[in-house]
Protein backbone atom coordinates (compact mmCIF):
# COMPACT_ATOMS: atom_id res chain seq x y z
CA UNK A 1 0.00 0.00 0.00
CA UNK A 2 1.39 3.38 -1.04
CA UNK A 3 -0.15 6.60 0.26
CA UNK A 4 0.09 9.88 -1.63
CA UNK A 5 0.19 12.97 0.60
CA UNK A 6 -0.19 16.30 -1.16
CA UNK A 7 1.26 19.27 0.68
CA UNK A 8 3.70 16.91 2.34
CA UNK A 9 6.29 19.64 2.92
CA UNK A 10 3.83 21.61 5.04
CA UNK A 11 3.24 21.46 8.77
CA UNK A 12 0.45 18.89 9.04
CA UNK A 13 1.35 16.97 5.88
CA UNK A 14 4.96 16.38 6.93
CA UNK A 15 3.98 15.30 10.45
CA UNK A 16 1.48 12.82 9.01
CA UNK A 17 4.01 11.54 6.48
CA UNK A 18 6.54 10.78 9.24
CA UNK A 19 3.91 9.12 11.42
CA UNK A 20 2.87 6.81 8.59
CA UNK A 21 6.49 6.04 7.66
CA UNK A 22 7.25 5.15 11.30
CA UNK A 23 4.24 2.82 11.19
CA UNK A 24 5.68 1.03 8.15
CA UNK A 25 3.69 2.71 5.37
CA UNK A 26 5.20 3.73 2.04
CA UNK A 27 4.56 7.42 1.34
CA UNK A 28 4.75 9.52 -1.82
CA UNK A 29 4.94 13.24 -1.04
CA UNK A 30 4.27 16.15 -3.38
CA UNK A 31 4.55 19.88 -2.75
CA UNK A 32 5.21 22.95 -4.89
CA UNK A 33 7.13 24.92 -2.20
CA UNK A 34 4.79 27.86 -2.57
CA UNK A 35 6.35 31.06 -1.23
CA UNK A 36 3.56 31.65 1.31
CA UNK A 37 6.37 31.09 3.80
CA UNK A 38 10.12 30.43 3.36
CA UNK A 39 11.17 27.46 1.27
CA UNK A 40 13.90 26.40 3.69
CA UNK A 41 11.24 25.67 6.35
CA UNK A 42 9.56 23.21 3.99
CA UNK A 43 12.85 21.71 2.87
CA UNK A 44 13.65 21.03 6.52
CA UNK A 45 10.29 19.23 6.86
CA UNK A 46 11.03 17.10 3.79
CA UNK A 47 14.50 16.21 5.10
CA UNK A 48 12.88 15.04 8.34
CA UNK A 49 10.60 12.76 6.29
CA UNK A 50 13.58 11.40 4.37
CA UNK A 51 15.33 10.80 7.67
CA UNK A 52 12.29 8.89 8.94
CA UNK A 53 12.63 6.61 5.91
CA UNK A 54 16.44 6.49 6.26
CA UNK A 55 17.00 7.88 2.77
CA UNK A 56 20.64 8.24 1.84
CA UNK A 57 20.30 11.75 0.40
CA UNK A 58 19.64 13.40 3.78
CA UNK A 59 22.30 15.82 5.02
CA UNK A 60 23.41 13.38 7.70
CA UNK A 61 26.03 15.75 9.13
CA UNK A 62 23.38 18.32 10.09
CA UNK A 63 23.27 18.14 13.92
CA UNK A 64 20.19 20.37 14.20
CA UNK A 65 18.22 18.13 11.83
CA UNK A 66 19.10 15.05 13.88
CA UNK A 67 18.34 16.77 17.16
CA UNK A 68 14.88 17.83 15.99
CA UNK A 69 14.20 14.42 14.44
CA UNK A 70 15.04 12.55 17.65
CA UNK A 71 12.76 14.81 19.68
CA UNK A 72 9.85 14.44 17.25
CA UNK A 73 10.14 10.65 17.30
CA UNK A 74 10.33 10.72 21.09
CA UNK A 75 7.10 12.73 21.27
CA UNK A 76 5.48 10.32 18.80
CA UNK A 77 6.42 7.25 20.82
CA UNK A 78 5.09 8.71 24.08
CA UNK A 79 1.52 8.22 22.82
CA UNK A 80 0.49 4.64 23.55
CA UNK A 81 -1.51 4.51 20.31
CA UNK A 82 1.62 5.05 18.20
CA UNK A 83 3.18 1.68 17.63
CA UNK A 84 6.23 2.11 15.42
CA UNK A 85 6.88 -0.70 12.96
CA UNK A 86 10.16 -2.61 12.93
CA UNK A 87 10.19 -2.08 9.18
CA UNK A 88 9.76 1.63 8.58
CA UNK A 89 8.22 2.71 5.32
CA UNK A 90 9.71 4.49 2.35
CA UNK A 91 9.42 8.11 1.26
CA UNK A 92 9.68 9.52 -2.23
CA UNK A 93 9.15 13.19 -2.93
CA UNK A 94 8.13 15.17 -6.03
CA UNK A 95 8.21 18.93 -6.34
CA UNK A 96 5.19 19.87 -8.45
CA UNK A 97 1.99 21.89 -8.49
CA UNK A 98 -1.41 20.19 -8.21
CA UNK A 99 -2.77 22.51 -10.91
CA UNK A 100 -0.41 20.80 -13.39
CA UNK A 101 -2.35 17.68 -14.25
CA UNK A 102 0.22 16.29 -16.69
CA UNK A 103 2.91 16.26 -13.98
CA UNK A 104 0.46 14.70 -11.53
CA UNK A 105 -0.34 12.02 -14.10
CA UNK A 106 3.35 11.09 -14.32
CA UNK A 107 3.48 10.54 -10.55
CA UNK A 108 0.49 8.20 -10.72
CA UNK A 109 1.97 6.32 -13.68
CA UNK A 110 5.32 5.88 -11.90
CA UNK A 111 3.90 4.69 -8.57
CA UNK A 112 1.22 2.24 -7.54
CA UNK A 113 -0.71 4.63 -5.30
CA UNK A 114 -3.63 3.16 -3.36
CA UNK A 115 -4.75 6.02 -1.08
CA UNK A 116 -4.62 9.82 -1.20
CA UNK A 117 -4.54 12.35 1.64
CA UNK A 118 -5.00 15.79 0.15
CA UNK A 119 -3.60 18.74 2.13
CA UNK A 120 -2.13 20.86 -0.66
CA UNK A 121 -3.88 24.22 -0.75
CA UNK A 122 -3.39 27.93 -0.50
CA UNK A 123 -3.84 28.51 3.23
CA UNK A 124 -4.81 31.43 5.42
CA UNK A 125 -8.05 33.41 5.68
CA UNK A 126 -6.69 36.99 5.39
CA UNK A 127 -4.54 36.22 2.33
CA UNK A 128 -7.48 34.60 0.52
CA UNK A 129 -9.34 37.93 0.58
CA UNK A 130 -6.41 39.54 -1.23
CA UNK A 131 -5.88 36.74 -3.75
CA UNK A 132 -9.26 35.11 -4.48
CA UNK A 133 -8.39 33.95 -8.02
CA UNK A 134 -5.21 32.20 -6.89
CA UNK A 135 -7.03 30.49 -4.01
CA UNK A 136 -9.82 29.30 -6.29
CA UNK A 137 -7.41 27.98 -8.90
CA UNK A 138 -5.24 26.02 -6.47
CA UNK A 139 -7.85 24.85 -3.98
CA UNK A 140 -10.66 24.07 -6.43
CA UNK A 141 -8.97 23.24 -9.74
CA UNK A 142 -6.14 21.40 -7.99
CA UNK A 143 -8.59 19.30 -5.98
CA UNK A 144 -10.54 18.47 -9.15
CA UNK A 145 -7.34 17.27 -10.83
CA UNK A 146 -6.61 14.91 -7.95
CA UNK A 147 -10.15 13.56 -7.79
CA UNK A 148 -10.12 12.86 -11.51
CA UNK A 149 -6.80 11.01 -11.28
CA UNK A 150 -8.04 9.14 -8.20
CA UNK A 151 -10.93 7.67 -10.17
CA UNK A 152 -8.76 6.98 -13.22
CA UNK A 153 -6.17 5.06 -11.18
CA UNK A 154 -8.58 3.15 -8.91
CA UNK A 155 -7.66 4.83 -5.65
CA UNK A 156 -9.36 3.03 -2.76
CA UNK A 157 -9.63 5.99 -0.34
CA UNK A 158 -9.48 9.77 -0.75
CA UNK A 159 -9.13 11.96 2.36
CA UNK A 160 -9.76 15.67 1.89
CA UNK A 161 -8.34 18.09 4.46
CA UNK A 162 -11.08 20.66 4.94
CA UNK A 163 -11.38 23.37 7.57
CA UNK A 164 -13.56 24.71 10.35
CA UNK A 165 -13.73 27.85 8.19
CA UNK A 166 -16.55 26.19 6.22
CA UNK A 167 -18.88 26.79 9.19
CA UNK A 168 -18.38 30.56 9.14
CA UNK A 169 -18.64 32.58 12.36
CA UNK A 170 -20.81 31.18 15.16
CA UNK A 171 -22.33 33.21 17.96
CA UNK A 172 -22.63 31.85 21.49
CA UNK A 173 -26.03 30.23 20.98
CA UNK A 174 -24.73 27.88 18.26
CA UNK A 175 -20.99 28.06 18.88
CA UNK A 176 -20.40 24.29 18.77
CA UNK A 177 -20.87 22.82 15.30
CA UNK A 178 -21.62 19.32 14.06
CA UNK A 179 -20.90 17.74 10.70
CA UNK A 180 -24.53 18.15 9.59
CA UNK A 181 -24.59 21.94 10.15
CA UNK A 182 -25.04 24.38 7.26
CA UNK A 183 -21.78 25.35 5.53
CA UNK A 184 -23.22 27.70 2.93
CA UNK A 185 -22.48 30.90 4.85
CA UNK A 186 -18.71 30.83 5.18
CA UNK A 187 -17.20 34.32 5.52
CA UNK A 188 -13.89 33.92 3.70
CA UNK A 189 -12.70 33.02 0.21
CA UNK A 190 -10.53 30.34 1.81
CA UNK A 191 -13.56 28.82 3.53
CA UNK A 192 -15.53 28.96 0.29
CA UNK A 193 -12.82 27.04 -1.58
CA UNK A 194 -12.91 24.36 1.11
CA UNK A 195 -16.70 24.08 0.79
CA UNK A 196 -16.19 23.70 -2.97
CA UNK A 197 -13.65 20.94 -2.37
CA UNK A 198 -16.09 19.08 -0.12
CA UNK A 199 -18.86 19.35 -2.71
CA UNK A 200 -16.50 18.06 -5.41
CA UNK A 201 -15.58 15.06 -3.25
CA UNK A 202 -19.26 14.26 -2.77
CA UNK A 203 -19.90 14.61 -6.52
CA UNK A 204 -17.04 12.22 -7.40
CA UNK A 205 -18.28 9.79 -4.76
CA UNK A 206 -21.79 9.79 -6.21
CA UNK A 207 -20.86 9.85 -9.90
CA UNK A 208 -17.73 7.67 -9.89
CA UNK A 209 -18.01 5.65 -6.66
CA UNK A 210 -14.88 7.18 -5.16
CA UNK A 211 -14.66 6.54 -1.42
CA UNK A 212 -14.12 9.94 0.20
CA UNK A 213 -13.74 11.22 3.75
CA UNK A 214 -13.82 14.90 4.65
CA UNK A 215 -11.72 15.88 7.66
CA UNK A 216 -12.66 19.32 8.97
CA UNK A 217 -9.59 20.60 10.80
CA UNK A 218 -10.25 22.78 13.84
CA UNK A 219 -7.27 24.99 14.37
CA UNK A 220 -5.04 26.58 14.68
CA UNK A 221 -3.12 23.33 14.75
CA UNK A 222 -0.06 23.99 16.88
CA UNK A 223 3.04 22.16 18.02
CA UNK A 224 6.64 21.62 16.90
CA UNK A 225 7.43 23.16 13.50
CA UNK A 226 4.04 24.88 13.28
CA UNK A 227 3.59 26.77 10.02
CA UNK A 228 5.73 29.85 10.66
CA UNK A 229 3.54 32.40 8.89
CA UNK A 230 0.14 33.52 10.18
CA UNK A 231 0.01 31.19 13.20
CA UNK A 232 -0.32 32.93 16.55
CA UNK A 233 1.46 30.32 18.69
CA UNK A 234 4.53 30.35 16.46
CA UNK A 235 4.48 34.13 16.13
CA UNK A 236 4.27 34.52 19.90
CA UNK A 237 7.24 32.19 20.41
CA UNK A 238 9.25 33.94 17.71
CA UNK A 239 8.40 37.42 18.98
CA UNK A 240 9.20 36.49 22.56
CA UNK A 241 12.57 35.13 21.45
CA UNK A 242 13.31 38.27 19.42
CA UNK A 243 11.78 40.78 21.87
CA UNK A 244 9.12 42.08 19.47
CA UNK A 245 5.63 43.37 20.30
CA UNK A 246 2.84 40.90 19.48
CA UNK A 247 -0.32 42.25 17.82
CA UNK A 248 -3.64 40.50 18.53
CA UNK A 249 -6.38 40.58 15.87
CA UNK A 250 -9.01 38.26 17.38
CA UNK A 251 -12.68 39.27 17.29
CA UNK A 252 -12.74 39.75 21.05
CA UNK A 253 -9.10 40.50 21.74
CA UNK A 254 -7.46 38.27 24.33
CA UNK A 255 -10.85 36.76 25.23
CA UNK A 256 -11.38 35.37 21.72
CA UNK A 257 -11.81 31.62 22.22
CA UNK A 258 -11.11 28.96 19.59
CA UNK A 259 -10.38 25.28 19.36
CA UNK A 260 -6.63 24.79 19.09
CA UNK A 261 -5.53 21.22 18.40
CA UNK A 262 -2.08 19.81 19.11
CA UNK A 263 -0.44 18.37 16.00
CA UNK A 264 -0.11 14.78 17.25
CA UNK A 265 -3.81 14.71 18.21
CA UNK A 266 -4.75 15.99 14.74
CA UNK A 267 -2.52 13.36 13.13
CA UNK A 268 -4.15 10.62 15.20
CA UNK A 269 -7.51 11.79 13.89
CA UNK A 270 -6.35 11.52 10.29
CA UNK A 271 -4.85 8.07 10.81
CA UNK A 272 -8.05 6.83 12.43
CA UNK A 273 -10.10 8.13 9.49
CA UNK A 274 -7.65 6.58 7.02
CA UNK A 275 -7.90 3.18 8.72
CA UNK A 276 -11.69 3.27 9.00
CA UNK A 277 -14.22 1.76 6.60
CA UNK A 278 -16.17 4.46 4.75
CA UNK A 279 -17.94 5.25 1.52
CA UNK A 280 -18.49 8.96 2.19
CA UNK A 281 -18.05 10.51 5.63
CA UNK A 282 -17.39 13.88 7.25
CA UNK A 283 -15.57 14.23 10.55
CA UNK A 284 -14.76 17.16 12.79
CA UNK A 285 -11.26 16.64 14.18
CA UNK A 286 -10.52 19.12 16.95
CA UNK A 287 -10.65 19.34 20.72
CA UNK A 288 -14.19 20.51 21.56
CA UNK A 289 -12.41 22.63 24.16
CA UNK A 290 -12.07 26.26 23.00
CA UNK A 291 -9.47 28.18 24.96
CA UNK A 292 -8.92 31.93 25.01
CA UNK A 293 -6.02 33.58 23.24
CA UNK A 294 -4.97 34.80 26.68
CA UNK A 295 -4.56 31.16 27.74
CA UNK A 296 -2.48 30.42 24.63
CA UNK A 297 -0.15 33.32 25.41
CA UNK A 298 0.07 32.40 29.10
CA UNK A 299 1.34 28.98 27.99
CA UNK A 300 3.95 30.62 25.75
CA UNK A 301 5.15 32.84 28.59
CA UNK A 302 5.37 29.83 30.89
CA UNK A 303 7.31 27.75 28.34
CA UNK A 304 9.73 30.54 27.41
CA UNK A 305 9.93 32.04 30.91
CA UNK A 306 9.58 35.51 29.35
CA UNK A 307 6.85 38.16 29.33
CA UNK A 308 5.13 39.07 26.05
CA UNK A 309 4.65 42.65 24.88
CA UNK A 310 1.04 42.62 23.56
CA UNK A 311 -0.89 45.15 21.43
CA UNK A 312 -4.63 44.71 20.71
CA UNK A 313 -5.52 45.57 17.08
CA UNK A 314 -8.91 45.82 15.33
CA UNK A 315 -10.27 42.43 14.27
CA UNK A 316 -10.09 41.05 10.75
CA UNK A 317 -13.65 41.01 9.35
CA UNK A 318 -13.11 37.50 7.98
CA UNK A 319 -11.99 36.09 11.34
CA UNK A 320 -14.37 33.41 12.62
CA UNK A 321 -14.90 31.45 15.79
CA UNK A 322 -16.54 28.08 16.31
CA UNK A 323 -15.90 24.91 18.27
CA UNK A 324 -15.94 21.32 17.06
CA UNK A 325 -18.50 18.83 18.23
CA UNK A 326 -16.33 15.71 17.96
CA UNK A 327 -18.91 13.20 19.21
CA UNK A 328 -19.05 11.44 15.84
CA UNK A 329 -15.28 10.96 15.68
CA UNK A 330 -15.22 9.77 19.29
CA UNK A 331 -18.01 7.24 18.79
CA UNK A 332 -17.09 5.93 15.33
CA UNK A 333 -13.29 6.24 15.39
CA UNK A 334 -12.43 6.20 19.09
CA UNK A 335 -10.77 9.57 18.55
CA UNK A 336 -9.64 11.14 21.81
CA UNK A 337 -7.39 14.24 21.80
CA UNK A 338 -5.28 14.19 24.95
CA UNK A 339 -2.53 16.82 24.82
CA UNK A 340 -2.90 19.78 27.15
CA UNK A 341 -1.84 23.09 25.67
CA UNK A 342 0.81 23.64 28.33
CA UNK A 343 2.57 20.44 27.23
CA UNK A 344 2.07 21.08 23.51
CA UNK A 345 3.52 24.58 23.74
CA UNK A 346 6.40 23.32 25.87
CA UNK A 347 7.30 20.89 23.08
CA UNK A 348 6.91 23.58 20.44
CA UNK A 349 9.28 25.88 22.31
CA UNK A 350 11.77 23.05 22.86
CA UNK A 351 11.90 22.33 19.11
CA UNK A 352 12.09 26.05 18.32
CA UNK A 353 15.21 26.33 20.48
CA UNK A 354 16.75 23.32 18.71
CA UNK A 355 16.24 24.82 15.24
CA UNK A 356 18.90 26.73 13.26
CA UNK A 357 19.41 30.44 13.81
CA UNK A 358 17.76 31.34 10.48
CA UNK A 359 14.56 29.74 11.74
CA UNK A 360 14.61 31.40 15.15
CA UNK A 361 15.19 34.85 13.67
CA UNK A 362 12.65 34.82 10.82
CA UNK A 363 10.94 38.20 10.64
CA UNK A 364 7.99 37.20 8.40
CA UNK A 365 5.81 35.22 10.82
**3-state class (DSSP) for residue 124:** coil
Residues 318, 99, 105, 50, CA torsion sign: negative
The string of DSSP letters for 177-209 reads E-TTS--TT--SHHHHHHHHHHHHHHHHHHHH-
**3-state class (DSSP) for residue 286:** coil
190 in catalytic set? yes
Q: Which residues contact 70 (CB under 8 A, 6 or more apart)?
A: none
Annotated active-site residue in 37, 69, 167, 190: 190
**3-state class (DSSP) for residue 238:** helix
Do 65 and 18 touch, CB atoms closer than 8 A? Answer: no
Of the candidates 204, 271, 213, the one whose C-alpha atom is nearest the C-alpha of residue 3 is 271
Alpha-helical (H) ranges within the chain are 11-22, 39-52, 63-78, 101-110, 125-130, 132-136, 142-152, 189-208, 232-242, 263-274, 293-304, 327-333, 341-354, 357-360
Q: Which residues are catalytic?
A: 190
Amino acid sequence: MTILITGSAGFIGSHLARALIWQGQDVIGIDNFNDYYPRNCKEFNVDLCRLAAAKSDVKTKDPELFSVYKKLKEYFSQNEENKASQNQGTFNFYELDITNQSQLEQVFQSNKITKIIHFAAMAGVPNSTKNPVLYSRVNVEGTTNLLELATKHNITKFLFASSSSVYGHREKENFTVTESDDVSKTRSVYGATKVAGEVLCHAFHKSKNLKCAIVRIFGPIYGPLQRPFGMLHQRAINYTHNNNALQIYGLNGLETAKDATYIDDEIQGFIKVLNSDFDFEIYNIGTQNPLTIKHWLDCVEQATNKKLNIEIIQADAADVTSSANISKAKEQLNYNPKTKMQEGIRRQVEIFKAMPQWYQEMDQV
